[in-house]
Amino acid sequence: MNKDLILNLSNNIKEELIKIRREIHAYPEPALEEVKTAKLVGDKLEKLGLEVKRNIGITGVTGLLKGHKPGKTILLRADMDCLKMKELNDVEYKSTREGLMHACGHDAHTTWLLGAAMILSQMKEKISGNILFLFQPAEEGPGGADRMIKEGVLDNPKVDAAIGAHVWPNLESGKIGLTYDSMMAAPDKFSIKIYGKGGHGAQPHSTVDPISIGCQIYMSLQTIISRQINPVEPAVLSVTQFNGGSAHNIIPDHVEMVGTVRSLTNEMREFIPASMEKLIKGITEANGGTYEFQYDPYYPPVINDTYMVDIVKEAGEIMLGEDNIHIENVPSMGGEDFSYFQQKVPGGFFVVGTGNEEKGTTNGLHNPYFNIDEDILPQASAVLSEAALLYLDKNKPE
């Protein structure tokens, strides 16, 4: 019913969206410093006649579109921050800020959500309920979604459901990817400090060697994945730093190991650190050492609500065609803080393909040569717009 109107409106704003995305891309801002980006977003939302709130969770912005009739409230979300890395693309809109780059596509996320706001603000009479456009800071680390939730962004009006999307270079441009249930992992961090007794390298018998203890722990940690977890359930435990020692002939008094754990369920997220500490404690004590174990939970796993995925699937089929809907049965072990919204309301997160070999947009996320096929901007805006309307229409008051 809304297909032709939405497609026409999305096509009409394509050039404007490309301009916005390039402006954001050229001036990337890291977590909690998205001042210029937030101003651009807030100003454009105000021009569309939305109720705008700024400085939520430091730099977050929301725009509320109230429909012509009462109903539910759906949240559409984008993130605004960049990565701290140097861009190597040779394009006219490359980063003008040394050591900063939109290498994870948040410039595209912000742009296509602005596009959805442009489209839906012209369809107010068709909306039963409210649409909250949310632009969050700090997805890359500090957790901007959690900050905004703690400041009450899901209240007044009460949000009933949420939808978000991410660029995906591994998927062909023009397609969207959907995953039911667990989609992305909880990207947790750990550190292990092993304390022994230092001494001369020629007299190891008079020491308690923390390097030896650390090596035993390193090897044993992998048995949690290989022997304690069902092999059909994905989980990752990686030690990424192993630091200790100061000279070739000195056994140090301590070493430190740092790494990451990726899990796809809340249950596994509790099981793995508990098992880690049992192994660390047993090995350390058996060798006469002591330890400190710190486990820092980052984002929860992204676990999609089936009904919300169905909404996005239907919207994608209407806007892009059934052939352009990809169902992914294998979850990603990357993390995403959209999961904080999913802990509060039913949420659907999907990916927007941007892989195009002819345009050179197949480099992975967090790559200094990452870029997108800009044709996806109005397409994503159209899918988000239709998904919001479908949800509100299916859940409108009788």
The catalytic residues are: 299, 374
Nearest to 390 by CA among 131, 217, 205: 131
Which alpha helices (H) appear in the chain, and where do they start and end? 3-12, 14-26, 35-47, 106-120, 144-150, 210-227, 266-286, 306-320, 339-342, 376-394
Contact present, 391 and 74 (Cβ < 8 Å): yes
Radius of gyration, CA atoms only, the chain:
24
d(CA 394, CA 390): 6
Contact present, 239 and 297 (Cβ < 8 Å): no
Annotated binding site for Mn(2+), which residues?
Answer: 104, 106, 140, 166, 366
In total, the chain counts a number of residues equal to 398
How many C-beta atoms surround the C-beta of residue 227 within 10 A?
A: 8
Q: Any idea what DSSP says for residue 349?
A: E
